[in-house]
Amino acid sequence: MKRKLVSMVMCMALGATMLAGCGNSANTSTGNAGASNDAAAKTDDAAAADQTDDSAEAAGTESSAASGDTVTIGFAQVGHESDWRTASTDSCLSVFSADNGYDLQFVDCDNDSAVQLEAVRGFIEQDVDYIIIDPIVSTGWDTVLTECEEAGIPVIVIDRTIDDSDKYVSWVGSNFKTEGLAAGEWLKAYTDAKGISDVNVLVIEGSTGASATIGRTDGFKEIADANGWNILDSQTGDFTQAGGQEVMESYIKSYEGKFNVVVCQNDNEAFGAMDAMKAAGISYGVDGDVILVSFDACTAGLEYVMSGDINADFECNPLAAPFVEEVIKQLQAGETPEKEVYMEEHWYVNEDILSEITVDGETQPLTVVTDDIIAAQY
């Protein structure tokens, strides 16, 4: 193991972007949830820290500080586009801290693939011990991962997947297609229970080329096609609140009165869609004319599920860092980690008219959101 100390890279731009990420969280209040922006941001930070600590303890990991070694890690993060991304970053900053025996080189890539590739090459030049990548897009990675391999630096991929190379030791994240399938299966069961036979859907996708976008789109479309639903349109909102609002405003101009379902591929897009529908006088949620489905299940998202503004929210767990630390410890011990590590996730709803759905032949429970669940969420 390398014993060198490299000063932690937290450039001024990172400080600004982290604040911007939290600022986006503060701006998510819309509809009827009514939580104060500052309080929500503080609750998110505290919950993320508490859950990360609990997850690390549950994984049975021992901090690197206990061995007296400092492990240098380079982390190329997608950006700061959503509440989910902020929770993911906070998880890594908490687990891979100096107090825990790590020297973390962090780069916020601001959703720029070229910046992300250069960040990884910078980590190679710094001769870090490990590299963590949350890939902005799923292709274009083989060359730089070959460079990592030649430099003898193990790469761990989190969240989104890499499709054109297997030159990484492990991937930690979620099954995005399963999330899309679950959303589709829930919508089928929900519309059946409500006696809704005519399903006309607008989809606000995530970032183009992201594996989360591809998986959620493919999974949901599979169920939509099987049930003959009409997907009126599907456009990218780039996983941002502003993008979700812009796309929804455009949809309203083109399809007002023609849709009764909006599917947003993350919570921030849903917040933007809510703003647009509210401004246009379109009711949504449990008591509205439009069924609103979201993904991620961040704290603010669950608040809107509980208030009835979002009908269902399908979790994507952002707290990968404790699992990544376990992979690193396995590598340090000369063990071979699993190539794919899936994290546990839940499907959240407002109403108790359904208790479960069947996804890929497996019965999965639906969780009605309560105050206790919100308090425990990241």
The predicted pLDDT at position 67 comes to 54
How many Å apart are CA 247 and CA 69, to the nearest integer? 49
Token pair of 235 as six digits: 């456009």
The predicted pLDDT at position 378 comes to 81
The string of DSSP codes covering 14-47 is HHHHHHHHHHHHHTT--TT----HHHHHHHHHHH
Looking at the 3D structure of the chain, how many domains does it have? 2
Side by side, which strands form the sheet with 340-342?
Answer: 102-108, 71-77, 130-133, 155-158, 170-173, 340-342
How many Å apart are CA 192 and CA 200, to the nearest integer? 14
Three-class SS state of 216: helix
Q: Is residue 5 part of a domain?
A: no
Q: Is residue 305 part of a domain?
A: yes
CB-based contact 201:263 (threshold 8 Å): yes
Same domain, 216 and 364: yes
Same domain, 218 and 366: yes
| Helical packing angle, 12-26 and 83-95, nearest 10° | 130
Pairing between strand 170-173 and 102-108?
unpaired
Which among 128, 167, 122, 124 is positioned nearest to 145, based on CA atoms?
167
Parent domain of 274? 176-316+347-376
Q: Is the dihedral of CA 137, 142, 145, 147 positive or negative?
A: negative
Q: Is residue 133 part of a domain?
A: yes
Same domain, 165 and 211: no
Pairing between strand 170-173 and 155-158?
parallel
Which among 84, 78, 154 is positioned nearest to 119, based on CA atoms?
78
Same domain, 75 and 141: yes
Q: Is residue 4 part of a domain?
A: no
The residue type found at 201 is: V
Same domain, 151 and 74: yes
Same domain, 168 and 224: no
Q: Is residue 241 part of a domain?
A: yes
Token pair of 121 as six digits: 């090459």
Same domain, 337 and 352: no
Same domain, 226 and 99: no
Same domain, 323 and 299: no
Residues of the chain with pLDDT under 70: 1-68
Angle (nearest 5°) at CA 136 between 133 and 137: 110
Which among 147, 27, 140, 130 is positioned nearest to 76, based on CA atoms?
130
Neighbouring C-beta atoms of residue 25, cutoff 10 Å = 27
Same domain, 44 and 165: yes
The predicted pLDDT at position 49 comes to 40
CB-based contact 290:277 (threshold 8 Å): yes
The predicted pLDDT at position 58 comes to 38
CB-based contact 103:35 (threshold 8 Å): no
Same domain, 277 and 336: no
Q: Is residue 190 part of a domain?
A: yes
The predicted pLDDT at position 65 comes to 39
pLDDT in tens, 165-197: 999 999 999 999 999 999 999 999 999 999 999
Same domain, 31 and 63: yes
Angle (nearest 5°) at CA 261 between 256 and 266: 110
Token pair of 187 as six digits: 């919508």
CA distances from 131 to 71, 97, 270, 281 (A): 11, 15, 32, 48
The predicted pLDDT at position 24 comes to 35
Return the CATH number at 196.
Answer: 3.40.50.2300
| Helical packing angle, 37-58 and 12-26, nearest 10° | 110
Q: Is residue 3 part of a domain?
A: no
